[in-house]
């Protein structure tokens, strides 16, 4: 069969394009489990703890999805790549964890609850120094949710640098004072004496002639 005949056959099989644009999303209906998480496209995501036990609608796009409850959009979450992964936001579950701090030690998604390396450092420090490490850490994480994650992170920097007591009350006082919260930005570089390079070049010339 020649190219013309194949083209005519393909044209005969081609259907008309739809008159309206095809949707680039699909709807899902999922139930929020007791741990305030949902399963979307074989990955686990957290929702606010107030939605536990409720059924929500998910508008799933390629890069993100939107969550609707009672006809109202309540969240917009970036999608994870691949399968069997998880994205837990501490702001969603911190209130529940504060009521049951003992559950934090064996929490399945515990690693998701250290937003920066300093939060991990403070928890490890508390585990060594205190028998109430989980409760104290969750109080600090609660401050991050209520106030500012970046602010608490910088307050932790001050605590470690000045060797202050690692407690939520210490962090709160630093946040309230606003003292030394800015990261130093001015960098001073001494003027370079180019004469040192001349000495090196002269030495190289001397040794090169030997």
Least confident among 22-36, 76-90, 91-105, 167-181 = 167-181
- Cα–Cα nearest to 93, from 33, 48, 123: 48
SS3 159: helix
**What is the separation of C-alpha 6 from the centre of its chain, rounded to a whole number of angstroms?**
53
Total count of residues recorded for the chain: 210
Least confident among 42-46, 84-88, 193-197 = 193-197
Query: What mean pLDDT do residues 60-88 have?
Result: 95
Q: What is the distance between the terminal CA atoms of the chain, rounded to a whole angstrom? A: 83
Q: Give the pLDDT confidence of 188-200 residue by residue, as tens digits.
A: 566 666 666 566 6
Domain ranges of the chain: 3-87, 90-177
Q: Which pLDDT band, with edges at 50, 70 and 90, does 2 fall under?
A: confident
pLDDT computed for residue 12 by the predictor = 79
Query: What mean pLDDT do residues 96-107 have?
Result: 91
Q: What is the pTM of this model?
A: 0.71
pLDDT computed for residue 205 by the predictor = 57
What are the backbone angles phi and psi of residue 168, rounded to the nearest 5°?
A: -60, -35
- Cα–Cα nearest to 142, from 103, 101, 77, 95: 95
Bridge partners of 76, per DSSP, are 66
pLDDT computed for residue 70 by the predictor = 93
- Cα–Cα nearest to 126, from 74, 91, 165, 86: 165
Report the largest interatomic distance among the alpha carbons of the chain, rounded to a whole angstrom.
89
């Amino acid at each position: 069969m020649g190219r013309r005949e194949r083209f005519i056959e393909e044209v005969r099989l081609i259907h008309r394009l739809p008159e309206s644009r095809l949707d680039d999303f699909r709807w899902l209906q999922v139930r929020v489990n007791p741990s305030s998480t949902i399963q979307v496209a074989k990955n686990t995501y957290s929702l606010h703890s107030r939605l536990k036990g409720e059924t929500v609608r998910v508008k799933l796009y390629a890069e993100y999805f939107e969550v609707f409850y009672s006809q109202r959009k309540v969240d917009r979450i970036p999608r994870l790549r691949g399968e069997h992964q998880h994205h837990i936001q501490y702001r969603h579950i911190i209130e529940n964890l504060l009521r049951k701090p003992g559950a934090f030690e064996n929490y399945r998604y515990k690693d998701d609850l250290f937003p920066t390396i300093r939060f991990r450092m403070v928890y490890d420090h508390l585990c060594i120094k205190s028998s109430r490490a989980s409760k104290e850490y969750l109080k600090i994480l609660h401050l991050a949710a209520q106030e500012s994650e970046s602010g608490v992170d910088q307050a932790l920097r001050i605590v470690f640098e000045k060797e202050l007591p690692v407690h939520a009350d210490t962090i709160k006082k630093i946040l309230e004072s606003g003292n030394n919260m800015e990261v130093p930005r001015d960098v001073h570089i001494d003027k370079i004496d180019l004469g040192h390079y001349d000495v090196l070049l002269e030495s190289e010339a001397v040794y090169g002639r030997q």
